[in-house]
């Protein structure tokens, strides 16, 4: 190509569109940053969008290029470097589902190995200057600890030098062909990622040559290979699959093996074309494992180094992660250098390798190892191994009056020192999980083998809740490898409901006031039967074919159909446990012992019967709560401060004011992200009003609880000053996740701009305790932030918002900004604030 065609008018239009997008406040907003080019008087503008705005059907971006650098020259706004158009993982979006790919794309499919480093764009100017950029940055910078572009450039120059290639010639070839060379810089001495790149492997892995044009065009791999060879790049392995079927078979085979040609691999990038217009189409096929496992190891190690706490609860790879921790903790404890390096990102792979070596398996072997795989599936406990350490929980499935308590008492009378009994009817507070917490606490007693968890559990929902609570709280009370078997005892199967109704009504009415919560004299017969019939209507019999009932390790079917049903039921439970779990009941009791136990159970009177006092004073009415704002309170302030401190330390800017503030402990007493404020709810735009009312509705119950709590406080005289703000963290486990994006400050305030983990399709950033997003609970502030500290006493915290807007709009005169990248994910609990 003799004349360089960077298509000025086209690029001009693109720049205009990008500039316009930078004025947007929300969806599709673009961000521009101007950089000096190394060793050149020229400047370039880097353009990017929020990560979550790419690939959305309802957002049209001016470009999908990830990594786009345009010369900062209104007369010649040429594209200096252009990344690939954003592409997605298989199944990540509609257009990466196999059906879609099959219907709309055509082969041949070029499969390239995905290297695991950082992306580097290499391009050139007319004067022979080589321009090396990282994804969104280039040139000298003093606000980052690692300058990827600079490191990439240094490596490139060394590489050209070794081949005796004049860098001008290299630059000329790129410039004249209007190309950006795209490589992955993999070098553990510079930055560790997940895969290992030691001395031999380190280098620039060339994987693409893009045309510097607005529209995404990339050269075929054979040209890339030729270019790479000529200039000493490391090759990116590639192969051709002619049709979609052989492609899929190949990828899925690699995925089950987790490797390609015996090597661990992050995955593949597949290049093809759209049938409709022959345009280039990319997608990736990433392997989940072993990365997930390795990343988890990295995170738990960091956590341990940070605050000495050992994470126990893992969703996946529980068993092996605990093994890993058992191994690395003593090493970390005894080696400060190791800890320090680890925190800086070095030695991560080394430590992992030490463990793998001692364990005698590779990561893939571990993952494929049948036994361990099974253990993982079974939540890290070898459930098949029943021995004297095995513990048991008994969950009834019943309705009121079936004889749960009488049966439980019969059993505990027999096994006084080994069985426990926790009754839901004894639990008064708001925390319903107390039922399991107390049961687990009891079970953690070395002498206790089995606990009867006395509650009706007449619906799937309640049974499911019990299993979830076990998962959630088990490790607070017991060691991670404690094996708990759960026995279900089903008092009725639904076909016998009429008979059960008759018997239980009679018994409950005869029981009178002899019960903790259901009292005939207090409530009256009608109300008692009303309460009972609620259970009859809602009753869902056990279905062992589906979750949650299929989670029972043993299900014992009982009957409530005779004069001494609780005796025969206790007998049946003992018989079946003896048969299935002889460790728990090695010998059957004699008939006499059993009858004695039943007899004293029938005579039992509960201790916790509330006294009914006539003419009790009226309950004071609870004032309805008027929250002033909803927020997310950062759980680990220290961790966040450490991260900030780290960024400050690494920065070459003048950070003395921030430093001083942190050192003198003048940071805000608590860190929070404001999510929605009453003023926005009353006077804001439609979106703000909608968000506010969604919060108000969603937290209605929670606010009720808080109102009760305030009332109690008031009654006990420990009410706070009514003018002071009070913050209440929601008890339901709602939370959000975020990362720090920028630290900014002027002479008034220090704030951190954060990037929330959002579900954009459902306008929300808040997740429930099961990590499911809750629709509509968004952050009203377009720029979410945390006020870190106030430098000028007359400044209000709300000024943070103004500062952050300034920063995002690029108005940064007298404002200091540190970009934070590769940051930690923090968690914050949702809070309700009242004034």
Residues that bind ligand GTP (CB under 6 A): 398, 400-406, 425, 456, 507-508, 511, 515, 518, 563-567, 602
Q: Indicate which residue of 114, 391, 449, 742 is catalytic.
A: 114
Stretch that binds Mg ion, among 274-282, 403-411, 412-420, 725-733 (CB under 5 A): 403-411
Nearer to ligand GTP, 530 or 810 (CB): 530
∠ CA 680-686-692 to the nearest 5 degrees? Answer: 45
C-beta of 321: minimal distance to ligand GTP in Å? 41
∠ CA 335-341-346 to the nearest 5 degrees? Answer: 125
Count of CB atoms within 10 A of residue 621's CB? 8
Nearer to Mg ion, 92 or 426 (CB): 426
Nearer to Mg ion, 405 or 784 (CB): 405
Q: How many residues does the chain have?
A: 835
C-beta of 477: minimal distance to ligand GTP in Å? 25
Q: Look at residue 406 and give the partner it binds from ligand GTP, Mg ion, none, a contact being a CB closer than 5 to 8 Å depending on partner kind.
A: ligand GTP
Stretch that binds Mg ion, among 95-103, 402-410, 699-707, 718-726 (CB under 5 A): 402-410
Q: Look at residue 400 and give the partner it binds from Mg ion, ligand GTP, none, a contact being a CB closer than 5 to 8 Å depending on partner kind.
A: ligand GTP
Return the beta strands (E) in 505-585 as ranges.
554-557
C-beta of 463: minimal distance to Mg ion in Å? 17
Backbone φ, ψ for residue 667 (5° rounding): -70, 165
Task: Please name which of 802, 756, 762, 761 lies closest in space to residue 779, comparing C-alpha atoms.
Answer: 756
C-beta of 396: minimal distance to Mg ion in Å? 9
3-state secondary structure of 340: helix
Instruction: Decide if 241 is catalytic.
Output: no
CA 448 from centroid of its chain's CA atoms: 36
Backbone φ, ψ for residue 804 (5° rounding): -65, -35
C-beta of 486: minimal distance to Mg ion in Å? 20
H helix count then E strand count, the chain = 26, 28
Look up residue 21 and give its two tokens: 């997008």
Site map for Mg ion, 361-400, x if CB under 5 A? ----------------------------------------
User: In angstroms, what is the C-alpha Rg of the chain?
Assistant: 33
Residue 44 near residue 108, CB atoms below 8 Å = no
3-state secondary structure 109-172: EEEEECCCCEEEEEEECCCCCEEEECCCCECCCCCCCCCHHHHHHHHHHHHHHHCCCCHHHHHH
Stretch that binds Mg ion, among 59-67, 221-229, 405-413, 765-773 (CB under 5 A): 405-413
Q: Look at residue 82 and give the partner it binds from ligand GTP, Mg ion, none, a contact being a CB closer than 5 to 8 Å depending on partner kind.
A: none
Nearer to ligand GTP, 28 or 396 (CB): 396
Residue 198 near residue 186, CB atoms below 8 Å = no
Number of residues engaging Mg ion in binding (CB under 5 A): 1
* Contact flag: residue 115 with Mg ion (CB under 5 A): no
Helix axes 336-344, 348-359, angle to 10 degrees: 120
Distance CA 772, CA 766 (A): 8
∠ CA 270-272-276 to the nearest 5 degrees? Answer: 145
C-beta of 609: minimal distance to ligand GTP in Å? 12
Give the H/E segment covering residue 385.
Answer: none
C-beta of 516: minimal distance to Mg ion in Å? 8
C-beta of 404: minimal distance to ligand GTP in Å? 4
Q: Look at residue 518 and give the partner it binds from ligand GTP, Mg ion, none, a contact being a CB closer than 5 to 8 Å depending on partner kind.
A: ligand GTP
Place of tokens 């594209």: 79
* Contact flag: residue 405 with Mg ion (CB under 5 A): yes
Nearer to Mg ion, 405 or 787 (CB): 405
Nearer to ligand GTP, 269 or 508 (CB): 508
Distance CA 752, CA 661 (A): 14
Nearer to ligand GTP, 606 or 684 (CB): 606
C-beta of 430: minimal distance to ligand GTP in Å? 20
3-state secondary structure 342-358: HHHCCCHHHHHHHHHHH
- How buried is 537 (Cβ within 10 angstroms: 0-12 exposed, 13-18 middle, 19+ buried)? exposed
Nearer to ligand GTP, 562 or 649 (CB): 562
Q: Look at residue 658 and give the partner it binds from ligand GTP, Mg ion, none, a contact being a CB closer than 5 to 8 Å depending on partner kind.
A: none
Nearer to ligand GTP, 265 or 601 (CB): 601
Q: Which residues bind Mg ion (CB under 5 A)?
A: 405
Q: Which residues are catalytic?
A: 114
């Amino acid at each position: 190509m003799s004349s360089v065609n960077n298509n000025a008018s086209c690029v001009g239009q693109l720049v205009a569109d990008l500039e316009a997008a930078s004025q947007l406040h929300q969806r599709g907003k673009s961000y521009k940053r101007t950089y000096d080019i190394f060793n050149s008087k020229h400047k370039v503008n880097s353009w990017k969008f929020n990560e979550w705005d790419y690939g959305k059907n309802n957002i049209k971006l001016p470009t999908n290029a990830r990594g786009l650098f345009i010369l900062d020259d209104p007369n010649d706004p040429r594209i200096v470097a252009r990344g690939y158009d954003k592409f997605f993982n298989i199944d990540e979006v509609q257009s990466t589902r196999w059906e879609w790919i099959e219907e709309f794309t055509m082969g041949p499919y070029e499969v390239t190995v995905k290297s695991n480093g950082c992306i580097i764009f290499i391009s050139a100017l007319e004067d022979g200057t080589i321009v090396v950029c990282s994804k969104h940055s280039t040139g000298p910078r003093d606000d980052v600890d690692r300058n990827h572009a600079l490191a990439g450039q240094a490596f490139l120059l060394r590489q050209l030098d070794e081949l005796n290639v004049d860098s001008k010639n290299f630059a000329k070839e790129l410039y004249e062909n209007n190309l950006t060379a795209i490589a992955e810089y993999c070098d553990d001495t510079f930055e560790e990622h997940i895969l290992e790149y030691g001395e031999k492997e380190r280098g620039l892995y060339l994987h693409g040559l893009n045309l510097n044009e607005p529209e995404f065009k990339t050269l075929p791999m054979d040209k890339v290979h030729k270019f790479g060879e000529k200039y000493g790049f490391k090759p990116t392995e590639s192969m051709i699959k002619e049709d979609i079927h052989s492609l899929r078979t190949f990828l899925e085979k690699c995925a089950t093996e987790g490797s390609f040609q015996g090597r661990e691999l992050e995955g593949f990038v597949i290049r093809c074309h759209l049938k409709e217009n022959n345009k280039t189409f990319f997608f990736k096929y990433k392997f989940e494992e072993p990365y997930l496992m390795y990343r988890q190891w990295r995170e738990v190690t960091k956590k341990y180094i940070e605050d000495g706490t050992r994470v126990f609860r893992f969703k996946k790879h529980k068993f092996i992660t605990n093994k890993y921790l058992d191994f690395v903790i003593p090493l970390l404890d005894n080696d400060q250098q190791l800890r320090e390096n680890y925190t800086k990102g070095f030695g991560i792979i080394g430590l992992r390798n030490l463990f793998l070596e001692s364990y005698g398996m590779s990561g893939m072997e571990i993952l494929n190892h049948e036994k361990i795989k099974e253990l993982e599936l079974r939540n890290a406990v070898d459930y098949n191994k029943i021995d004297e350490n095995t513990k048991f929980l008994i969950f009834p499935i019943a309705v009121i009056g079936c004889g749960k308590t009488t049966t439980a008492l019969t059993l505990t009378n027999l096994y006084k020192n080994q069985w426990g009994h926790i009754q839901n009817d004894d639990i008064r507070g708001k925390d319903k999980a107390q039922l399991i917490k107390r049961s687990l606490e009891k079970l953690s007693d070395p002498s206790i083998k089995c606990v009867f968890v006395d509650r009706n559990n007449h619906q799937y929902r309640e049974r499911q809740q019990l299993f979830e609570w076990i998962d959630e709280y088990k490790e607070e009370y017991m060691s991670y490898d404690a094996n708990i078997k759960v026995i279900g005892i089903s008092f009725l199967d639904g076909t016998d409901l009429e008979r059960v109704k008759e018997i239980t009504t009679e018994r409950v009415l005869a029981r009178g006031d002899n019960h903790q919560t259901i009292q005939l004299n207090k409530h009256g017969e009608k109300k008692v039967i009303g309460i009972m019939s609620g259970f009859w209507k809602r009753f869902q019999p056990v279905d062992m074919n589906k979750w949650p009932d299929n989670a029972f390790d043993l299900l014992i079917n009982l009957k409530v159909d005779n004069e001494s049903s609780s005796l025969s039921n206790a007998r049946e439970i003992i018989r079946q446990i003896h048969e299935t779990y002889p460790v728990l009941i090695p010998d059957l009791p004699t008939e006499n012992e059993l009858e004695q136990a039943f007899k004293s159970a029938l005579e039992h009177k509960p201790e916790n019967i509330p006294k009914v006092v006539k003419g009790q004073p009226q309950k004071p009415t609870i004032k309805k709560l008027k929250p002033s704002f909803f927020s997310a309170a950062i759980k680990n302030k220290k961790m966040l401060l450490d991260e900030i401190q780290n960024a400050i330390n690494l920065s070459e800017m003048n950070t003395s004011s921030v430093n001083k503030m942190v050192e003198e402990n003048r940071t805000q007493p608590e860190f929070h992200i404001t999510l929605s404020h009453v003023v926005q709810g009353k006077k804001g735009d439609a979106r703000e009003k909608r968000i506010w009312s969604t919060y108000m509705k969603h937290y209605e119950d929670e606010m009720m609880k808080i109102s009760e709590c305030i009332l109690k406080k008031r009654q006990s005289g420990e009410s706070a000053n009514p003018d002071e703000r009070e913050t209440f963290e929601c008890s339901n486990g709602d939370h959000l996740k975020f990362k720090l994006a920028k630290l900014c400050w002027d002479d008034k305030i220090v704030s951190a701009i954060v990037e929330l983990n959002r579900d954009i399709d459902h306008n929300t950033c808040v997740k429930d305790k099961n990590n499911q997003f809750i629709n509509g609970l968004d952050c009203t502030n377009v720029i979410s932030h945390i006020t870190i500290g106030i430098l000028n006493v007359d400044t209000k915290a709300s000024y943070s918002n103004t500062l952050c807007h300034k920063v995002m709009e690029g108005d940064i005169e007298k404002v200091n900004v540190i970009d934070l990248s590769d940051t930690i994910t923090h968690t914050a609990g949702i809070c309700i604030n009242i004034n």
